[in-house]
Amino acid sequence: MGYAGCDKLPLVGHLAIAIHPKRSSAGPFSATWINSDGRPDPNLILSQGLVQVVNNALAVVRLSRDGLDVQARTLVRVTAELTWQLAVLFSNPELLRKYAVAQSEEEENRVWWELFGRGRLLRRTLDLEKALGLPADVSAALDAHRFSYPDQHDQLLAAGGLEIG
């Protein structure tokens, strides 16, 4: 049982379910972390982001198994960028507030481009790594890994496929 032939829900999927907003005491963030009235709820935003990461990862497995390598590589990159975006947003309540309170599609697009467009996501990700105090060699390894997804995907396919568990 499971999506795309996967019979295990990834750990991040369990986390997304565990922090569902109806279980507000279980969330990693106070409901008032963004605004004092508790809206928007940061735990709901995180839960939805993690569900999207899980769904994308499962879709990558399915696409790979069906021989749609180009589409799978594209989705791997999208998923990687989504995880970077979540890390950046949840490292800064001001950025998350700005991101979460957009009221229209046009405003959402404007805010997204302001926060993440034209290389800003990469810069913010690198700034976050520096703020964490990562040693230079670790940061360099992460940077090299960040842009090697297509090659790694091809190597995994050649070795017998992708598994999520």
146 with 139: CB under 8 angstroms? no
Q: For residue range 15-72, list pLDDT tens digits in order.
A: 555 555 555 555 666 766 666 766 677 778 888 888 899 899 999 999 999 999 889 9
Backbone angle region of 35, left / alpha / beta, with phi > 0 → left and psi within -120 to 50 → alpha: beta
Non-local CB neighbours of 90 within 8 Å, separated by 6+ positions: 29, 42, 46, 96
Q: CA-based Rg of the chain, rounded to a whole angstrom?
A: 17
Contact yes or no for 83/27 (Cβ under 8 A): no
The pLDDT tens digits of the residues spanning 112-137 come to: 999 998 889 989 988 888 888 888 88
What is the pTM (predicted TM-score) of this model? Answer: 0.69
DSSP 67-78: T-HHHHHHHHHH
